[in-house]
Structure 1
Amino acid sequence: MLIISNGTVASESKEEQSHVYLGGQVGVSHFLGACSSNAIECKNYVTGGGLYGGYQFNSWFALEGSWHDYGSPKTFYGVGDGYYSNATGVDLSVKLSLPVTDNLDLYAKGGAAYNYLSVSGNDNVHLGMFESDSSIDDIWEIGAEYALAPNWSLRFGTSIIDGIGNAKTGKSDLYFTSLGLTYKFKAKPEPEPKPETIVKLVPEATYYPEQVTLHFEFGESRFVVESKQWHSWNELALSVKQGQGKVSITGYTDAKGTDSANDIESLRRATYAADMLIKAGVDEERILINSKGSADPLVNEDLMRNESALNRRVVIQFNRRVGS
């Protein structure tokens, strides 16, 4: 018998491949507290941008560095009285990610930033004033990333610097909200393993004619001489049940007694054998009972009188299963 089935070679699931990534972002910088209350015009929401890159160690941990130009806020107090600022910075952060769906991750970043802030302008006292300051500040960011393709993703987040610059340059709190596009330099994913076609050769079951002979004492319907092959009715019945087709059970006697008595006795023996097989689970509808009295002897009792017991028998014939 030929059995064909499909199977897939199992492979262990792996963490997301480690890889280098680069990206760019644009957004809006909010310099909170950059303008005094007497300012006529305060442009503390300005456009900014930056570049970032990092190394993704696994699906949740990365080390990332970035450069930002946070833009140029402006403050005006009157004609010829105003200030122009510019803020830039570089930072190094630890980035932790939390998968939400197959394509969406939440992330949080924390690290240190080196920032440079310059302020130039005029006021009623100073003409051509210029101040600058550099500082190392904490930087924090939270956001979300959405995978567009295996190597591309969108990033949306807000970073916070608590007090950029010093008192002379304003020392404003900076909030930078941006949208970024990331490219991941990682190997192409391995193709899914194709299902294997598994071919199993299972030997077909075959059936061979089987004949079992049980012998009886004179005048008895229950056999007393055990078969050398079958040691119990249950054992014999199991082989019969696994076989196929009809089960022929034929009873015989020796030549002693009248023909009518021998016919009755041979039927009793065949019926007894059938009842025992049915009790052991053989389907009654498969069984055919025959009785032949003293016909078809195995030995000639006139020549071998001491061997007449061989003629007192029941012959069970069925197709026995051999193989799977």
Structure 2
Amino acid sequence: MRYIYNPSTDPAFNLAAEELLLTQSADEIFMLWRNRPAVIVGRNQNTLAEIDETFTRERGIPVVRRLSGGGAVFHDLGNINFTFINNGNPTEGLDFERFTVPIQKALAAMGVACEFSGRNDLLIEGKKFSGNAQHFHGGRILHHGTLLFSSDMADLSGALRVDPEKYRDKAVKSVRSRVTNISSHLPAPMEVTEFIKALMDFVSGGASPDDMALTDAESKTVESMAEKRYRTWDWNFGSSPAYNFSKRTRTEGGLLDVNLYVKKGRILTARLFGDYFGVRDVDALEERLTGCRHERGEIESRLADVNLDDYLHGVTLPVLLDCLF
């Protein structure tokens, strides 16, 4: 078993590191790592349907898609991620619990009783602190999970808050649970870095920290993979399943009812209904939106030279952008 502590807090780099170790290594792996504030969405999810787009945009919180399925999660520096990579075959089926046993034993050794529950969660006193997911590739299995240690619960709930009525799709939906931080249940206070060390010591049996880093060559390859996949709009948003978006907003110009059909992240059809006034036919505005990414910056650029008041009297571009998300 190779034990890795990855000190990077860049979510794109860290997810690329998992992919490298899964696809380009024969080693069995245990890795601990953290992300600065980010939303990580499951492989089969509609990204925009899982996040509060305004909350994440205004706070500069990146949104990154991972390889594994399951629901969207919020990461910050108070959350520790653990990764196991072993040889395994999809025909053996999903088995989340066996990879969480070392975590349960480590927490028990620190004085925290927890239990595996449902399909893929760990609970303390009935509240979730760990969600787990898996991905198979070429006879290898990637299992990773979150460990809420001292996460900001306000950011966690804010980043993942979205109106479920706006999106109609067949994507995998996240299931929200009551959550708790491990730090609230420890018999004595502990810093997150102390917890990481204690967890690694327990699982590794005291392996030397000097042997736990990615090599320079691995880091260089990981950075390239992050650029090509995990920092791209096409992967993080464009890979979402097709969906219908609808939102009704009361504006100063009247009621505006937006309906979009989006596939591979691009608007294929746009319809704008309502009791607003305009001197030009709104069809031309709908055509402007067709083919555009369902992404605020690109839509803003596409409509920058349009006199919106001709089509939607009293509706400014910032207001229209808010209506489209």
- TM-score normalised by the chain length of structure 1: 0.19
Q: Rg bigger for which structure?
A: 1
Higher fraction of helix: 2
Compare relative contact order (CA 8 Å, sep 6+) and give the higher one, 1 or 2: 2
Higher fraction of strand: 1
- TM-score normalised by the chain length of structure 2: 0.19
